[in-house]
Structure 1
Amino acid sequence: MILYYFIKVITLAIISLFFGLSVDLLGDLPDGPCIFVANHKSILDPIALMDAIDRRVFFIASKDLYKIPILNLILNALEAIPIKKNSADVNAIKEAIKMLDDGRSIALFPEGGISLDKSVIKIYKGAMYISCKTGYPIVPVGISGTDVVLPMGEYFPHAGRISVTIGKSIYPDVSMDKGDCLDKMAHEVVNSLNSLINNRNLK
């Protein structure tokens, strides 16, 4: 936990000093644990999400990232949940549900990786499955500007401003058939993320 807040303080200071970070909260955050989902344009997105949210979050990260030296140590220290990419990882889902049941909030990028698309088009439904199964809400987060500050494939930052817009919580209808609940929430999440991104880009 100490490492998490140390990284948060350092990165927030750097982003605020050299680039700028604005955060808009469009609705009240749930009092209890929730599932934060965000669009993914840059390797800076996890940092932007961490810095913008005023609570401890536990990331779900691709197992491929654990193959990168130093990064794997950071992910383990942050207690991130490793997940197999492009597959239904039952163990990762169980671990995520356990964290939520323990009162912790989790965060993930449902596109499954960095996307070059201007809007969110396709997402994996792991977050929606967890929400429909447990009843915990999803909080959509639109991130803009990270792809300008640090575009995909580059390692030296450019001038720019990062904006994070935290949308209204999306609650599952647990009375519905699980498949219908899953599809309904996925549709709502995609629409919400695109709305948050587009509204920010118009400002």
Structure 2
Amino acid sequence: MNQAIASLSLRPRPSISYRMVQWLLVAPIFRLLFRGRCFGMERVPRQGGLVVVANHGSHLDPPLLGHTLPRPVSFMAKAELFKVPILGGLIRSLGAYPVSRGASDREAIRTALGRLEKGWATGIFLDGTRQLSGRVENPQLGAALLSARSGAPLLPVALVNTHRAFGPNQSWPRLVAIQIRVGLPIPPPASKRRADLEATTKACQEAINALLELPLIAGADPFH
């Protein structure tokens, strides 16, 4: 058995600061300003290591994803973000940890594996950087490699309209409706071979983009 299997009984408890930031700051922004809604949350495994993969169109994405999923999420984020006023403290309180630009993939993977071994959900944006389209355009293999090494499944999540709300070229947010949609978990790659990593990464990309292509959902959760 690998360490990921041994960690299945683990369920990290979010810190007090994590909860306070979620409910006093992120929740009002998501629920009131952006009329935020969540769909498919029953698909989220409640314990054990989990690699959460998502599209990335906005600096809003880490705090919104950390707030909406029903378990604490740890994020790998660019070190530069931690120097941004307010945002840096916000994402750190929500479980993010810095990865320096130019740092080796080995260092970043080691940190993420440590979180997974403790039973955390670890969030990774597949493209590694924000996309103007808000879609997954050029997915990297890091999430699949992390899944292969840890044995943790991948969970595709679509962040709908965050690129329109506060995208890369915007100085001020636009109050558009944001939705968070969770897909079905995807098993780890069959091996750490590149072909298997690419196949799993493509499956994640297709799952996320398919969720993004759905029209804005009104009424009851259609994923039940």
Of the candidates 8, 19, 25, which is equivalent to residue 22 of structure 2? 8
> Can you give the 5+ residue segments of structure 2 that lack an aligned partner in the other structure?
1-14, 219-224
The structure-2 alpha-carbon separation of the partners of 1:173 and 1:120, relative to structure 1 and needing over 3 Å to count, comes to: closer
Q: Partner of 2:112 in structure 1?
A: 96
Mapped pair 1:159 → 2:175? yes
Q: Give, in whole Å, the separation in 2 of the partners of 1:15 and 1:188.
A: 28
- Cα separation, 1, equivalents of 2:174 and 2:153: 35
In terms of mean alpha carbon deviation, does 13-22 or 188-197 score higher? Answer: 13-22
Q: Which moved more, 1:136-145 or 1:78-87?
A: 78-87
Which letter does structure 2 place at the counterpart of 1:2?
I
Instruction: Give the aligned partner of residue 80 of structure 2.
Output: 64
* Alignment partner, residue 180 of structure 1: 195
**Which whole-Å CA distance do the structure 1 matches of 2:126 and 2:153 have between them?**
15
Change (3 A) 1:8 1:76: closer
Kept after mapping to 2: 8 A contact 1:81/1:92 = no
Tell me by how many angstroms 1:80 deviates.
2.1
The whole-number CA distance in structure 1 between the counterparts of 2:73 and 2:85 is 23
Structure 2 partner of 1:125: 141
Q: Look up the equivalent residue of 1:114 and give its one-letter code.
A: R
Q: Which runs of 4+ in 1 moved over 6 A?
A: none
Q: Does 1:21 align with 2:28?
A: no
For 2:122 and 2:151, how far apart are their aligned partners in 1?
14
Q: TM-score, normalised by structure 2?
A: 0.80
Distance 2:125 2:106 in 1: 17
* Residues 27 and 168 in structure 1, CA contact (< 8 A), matched pair in contact too: no
Report how far residue 27 of structure 1 moved. Answer: 5.9
Alpha-carbon distance, 1:59 to partner? 0.7
Is contact 1:85–1:112 with CA below 8 Å preserved after alignment? no
Task: Give deviations 1:145-178, integer Å, cap 9, x for gaps.
Answer: 222222323343222110010111011243x453
Larger CA deviation: 115-124 vs 68-77: 68-77
Paired amino acid for 2:18 = Y
Query: Aligned-residue CA RMSD in angstroms?
Result: 2.3
1:144 aligns with 2:160: yes
Q: Which range moves more in the overlay, 125-134 or 9-18?
A: 9-18
TM-score by length of 1: 0.87
Amino acid at match of 2:67: D
